[in-house]
Amino acid sequence: MSTAVPAEASAAVLQPSEPISDSAISVQGPDLEKKLSLQELLKSYERIGFQASSLGRAIDIVNRMRKWRLSDQPISVDESEDYLSPEIRAQTRCDIFLGYTSNLISSGLREVILYLVKHKHVAAIVTTAGGIEEDFIKCLGKTYLADFNMDGADLRSRGMNRIGNLVVPNDNYCKFEDWLLPILDTMLAEQQATGEVWSPSSFIRRLGKEINNEESVYYWAYKNDIPVFCPALTDGSLGDMIYFHSFRNPGLILDIVRDIRALNELSRKSKKAGMIILGGGVCKHQIANAMLIRNGADYSVYINTGQEFDGSDSGARPDEAVSWGKIRADAESVKVFADATLVFPLLVAATFAQD
């Protein structure tokens, strides 16, 4: 019997490697023998691999959004006179468009989002109806931790509404109706007196003023003049209340055309634009589509669990948006495949909260 290793087997197993580039980054996790700060720990994510590295990349991109100033760029030959002053150029920052789904306001991410709005870290918000109403409802009653496996029929009989592993007493929605309907009456009266109809964003701004509660995201959006867009404003409890109101006091008008113009113009006029989008659906695509008006976003961070095999926009990676002109070909972008409640607090702690 031959003692020689078969040449074809040896060649297959012991395939030689190409030389490694000097710029290649080796995989390495955090050294927990050392006492690491949160910043040091999150910095180590860049070299862990998989979604940890994607989060590290997202942190880097967000910090680049925050750091950018128009003064970093040379003055173009067709620059507007409004942007020739060195002082103005130094003050002109990247406009950050934040999008999120309603469940994130139901969760404790509401407080993280509130921090960003309170401290004027974002230029505009796009969310869904639940992302609006749940903020106000939390000012009127609490949402509670529960379990994903609770019986739906039993919860229904007890007047408890489940959102994942959270529950909201249905009484909170009754309180919301009691609070909202008189405001709708007033808004209708103002519309009839002035002839000026409402848009979803002006509607949300008014509710932010009326709630007058520093625990509300949209109170701070009102205070800081940050526009909040909600293309699907009627898709939730707000829609239920507007529906009820249309019987008892009909005539309230919400003009979505004003809002699409306002959002698209905000995008078009941005000297630099970045997207941070948590989740998918309306909030993701409405921001991305607004970026098309300016030939794409300059920075993009997606955080969601969606997959692209079914062709959904929610699951699409940034490169698909590049093909549509919604993200620029030379943009810095990343998708973090993760539950936003796990990673977004870490991202904000490593970026905006460092101010």
326 is catalytic: yes
Query: How many other CB atoms sit within 10 Å of the CB of residue 313?
Result: 17
State the sign of the Cα–Cα–Cα–Cα dihedral 240, 116, 62, 331.
positive
Residues 301 and 333: beta-carbon distance below 8 Å: yes
Question: d(Cα 335, Cα 355) in Å, to the nearest integer?
Answer: 25
Find the catalytic residue in 272, 284, 326, 335.
326
Tokens 């070299």 correspond to what residue? 47
Alpha helix (H) residue ranges in 68-149: 86-91, 102-106, 109-118, 129-140
Angle at 125 between CA 57 and CA 334, to 5 degrees: 15
- Tell the residue number behind the tokens 């699907």, with chain if given: 232
Q: Which long-range contacts (CB under 8 A, 24 or more apart) does 206-209 make?
A: 207/132, 207/136, 207/180, 207/183
Nearest Cα to Cα of residue 83 among 269, 335, 325: 269
Enumerate the active-site residues.
Answer: 326
